[in-house]
Structure 1
Amino acid sequence: MAQQPQRQPQPQPNPHLPDRVAAVYGEQDLSTVPAFAGGFINFGYWARLPDLADGPLSEADRIRSEQDLYRLVLDTFGRTRGRSALEVGCGRGLGCALALREYGLAPVTGLDIHPDQIARARATHAELLAGPSTDGPADAPAPLAFVEGAAQRIPLPDASAECLYSVEAAQHFRDLPGFAREAARVLRPDGRLALTTFFARTHEAARALPGLLPPYADGLDVPHVIDDVAAALAAAGLRDVRVRAIGEAVWEPYDRYMAQRRELRDAWPRHYLTAYRTGLLDYYLVTAAAPAPVSAPGGSASTGP
């Protein structure tokens, strides 16, 4: 009797990866969409561009705005050189490379829930992933690593990062309180968190957003309310939670760039400026400090087991 060939087990879907997110960052590869020139996949922070009000905005300006959004976030950490960092929602890892190159953060770990994004990041930064040059110590760790995992289940040890940041990813998180608890867990006692993205201003606004913006209607984004985000971070034990609205430096310049480029005018939802002007959403920079160390019996501080 002929032996039947063994069937290979089929890969199981990730229960933490929503279908719409899987498609947009997988086969559709949002980083290749012209609206996100340069591959960073964010709306950009435009306030640092010289002569912003004069003349048309170029593709180079668009890429600079995306890089400047990372710089805005990384500037909140103050001293960065030689400090360990974790980016949650790293995409192609371009922001990780910027953090390593311009801020001296090291090692930098990029975390993303999508396996395709992790594969792209590893391919894009293969040289950095190879480790230090032969001139450095033989046992020196590689300055950059990419890990697949969900924001609410970060596969890293306790107290393993001094700087934790996330750039335009938290609008995808289905479990923001879970992310907050994990951030509190992986941060060192002297660590800090910084995240930036767009959130609804109120619960009423959150209910209205799916009727205006397709990414909320089709399940790509979640209309989290900014006060709930801040409360979740505080409830997880993070201290000194601060919220800064930066929409003035995001929505109008981004929409103006889109309107000036014929190939982009109608290729991407452009109602974000309308949502901003009507008070439905804004873009925010949120920062916080790690939880206070737990006092062990006898008065000495302990960071956990």
Structure 2
Amino acid sequence: MTHADHRPGDMRATVRETYGPADLSSAPVFAGGFINFGHWRPGDLDGPPTVEDRIRSQRDLYRRVLDAAGPLGGGQLLEVGCGLGVGCALAVAEYGPSRVTGMDIHPQQLERARRANSGLLDGAGAGRLRLVRGAAEDMPFGDGEFDCVYSVEAAQHFDDLALFAAETARVLRPGGRAAVTSFFAADPGAAPLLAELLDTFAKGLDIARPPSELTDALARSGLAEVRCESIGARVWPGWDHWLSAQWEPGTWPRNFLLAWERGLLDYYVITAARP
């Protein structure tokens, strides 16, 4: 069964394994429980990469996305593909929402997220965070329930960006905003080359699509002010610098930088608003 044959709510086998038994969040390369490539500062490239720099880069990628969504104080926020929920916890701590809902398709990830965020779920902060199982293409929420829908480095896994865009538009209230960051292919023709360079594309964990597939879908879904900004210069060199301490040149994870330098893929922040 290909990713195009899946029904909303299904998981491809590679997604089920990577975020289930394999527990990608436990890999040292994703220190701190975040699972993203990071938004790096220029000075991070000057010396040996540190775990502290790595964790800060991942937190800064969340801040980059949440800042792009505009003022969030008092709002209802939804993170699509929340993983361990550490980004949700950052949003609760730093952006003053009334509540953050973290949604993920993988039940094992959600169980880990509940353990990692028990204080926000059950302690003094109870009610500030809730965790829900659901798919990007079939969100289990009512119309107009959220002031902001955001997603950090998960859209490359979504089976159907058009359904994700339609669901995002549906669950946003009028005046609400969406902010998505992920990596996308330069164009559909880049897919075979990316599969040659990068195991995650070869194995189907990541899907090679241009950013226009999402921006066009958001516009068709009725969202306005659709914008797409490249942030690759703040992602790929820092990510490769961090990898250099753990992976040899020529190994496939180092090829993300090579793919960017060849113009095969880039990293973007995409935003939109519901009129």
TM interval, shorter chain, is over 0.9
Report what 1:297 is aligned to: none
- Superposed, which structure 2 residues align to 1:28-67 within 5 Å? 28-47=22-41, 51-67=43-59
1:149 partnered with 2:143: no
Aligned positions, number? 268
Give the Å deviation of 1:209.
1.2
Give the Å deviation of 1:255.
0.4
Alignment partners' CA distance in 2, 1:36 and 1:102: 22
Report what 2:273 is aligned to: 289
Alignment partners' CA distance in 1, 2:189 and 2:153: 22
Report what 1:276 is aligned to: 260
Alignment deviations for residues 101-148 of structure 1 (CA, whole Å, 9 cap, x no partner): 011122100000000011111111111111656xxxxxxx71100000
Give the Å deviation of 1:268.
6.2
1:85 partnered with 2:70: no
- The residue type equivalent to 1:52 in the other structure is D
Report what 2:226 is aligned to: 241
Matched residue SS, 1:283? strand
**Which of residues 146, 150, 160 in structure 2 aligns to 1:175?**
160
Alignment deviations for residues 41-94 of structure 1 (CA, whole Å, 9 cap, x no partner): 0000003x6x33421121110110000000000111222111110000000000
Contact 1:43 1:250 in 2 (8 A): yes
Contact 2:9 2:105 in 1 (8 A): no
Give the Å deviation of 1:203.
1.7
Report what 1:110 is aligned to: 102
Contact 1:132 1:143 in 2 (8 A): no
- Superposed, which structure 2 residues align to 1:255-274 within 5 Å? 255-259=240-244, 261=245, 263-265=246-248, 269-274=253-258
**Paired-residue identity, %:** 50
Alignment partners' CA distance in 2, 1:228 and 1:54: 36
Alignment partners' CA distance in 2, 1:114 and 1:265: 32
Alignment deviations for residues 266-297 of structure 1 (CA, whole Å, 9 cap, x no partner): 7862210010000000000000001x3xxxxx
Alignment partners' CA distance in 2, 1:251 and 1:44: 9
Alignment partners' CA distance in 2, 1:284 and 1:277: 15
Unaligned runs of 5+ in 2: 1-6
- Alpha-carbon distance change, 68 to 191 in structure 1, aligned in 2, over 3 angstroms: same
Report what 1:3 is aligned to: none
Matched residue SS, 2:132? strand
- Structure 1 vs Structure 2 CA RMSD: 1.8
Report what 1:302 is aligned to: none
1:201 partnered with 2:186: yes
- Alpha-carbon distance change, 116 to 224 in structure 1, aligned in 2, over 3 angstroms: same
Larger RCO: Structure 1 or Structure 2 (Cα < 8 Å, ≥ 6 residues apart)?
2
Report what 1:250 is aligned to: 235
Which has the greater radius of gyration? 1
Alignment partners' CA distance in 1, 2:27 and 2:8: 25
Report what 1:299 is aligned to: none
- The residue type equivalent to 2:40 in the other structure is W
Give the Å deviation of 1:264.
3.9
Give the Å deviation of 1:257.
1.4
Contact 1:206 1:225 in 2 (8 A): no
Matched residue SS, 1:198? strand
- The residue type equivalent to 1:287 in the other structure is T
Report what 1:100 is aligned to: 92
Contact 1:200 1:206 in 2 (8 A): yes
Alignment partners' CA distance in 2, 1:14 and 1:205: 26
TM-score by length of 2: 0.93
Alignment partners' CA distance in 2, 1:160 and 1:106: 13
Contact 1:35 1:264 in 2 (8 A): no
**Which of residues 4, 15, 21 in structure 2 aligns to 1:21?**
15
Alignment partners' CA distance in 1, 2:123 and 2:223: 33
Matched residue SS, 1:242? strand
Contact 1:171 1:199 in 2 (8 A): yes
Unaligned runs of 5+ in 1: 1-12, 134-140, 293-305
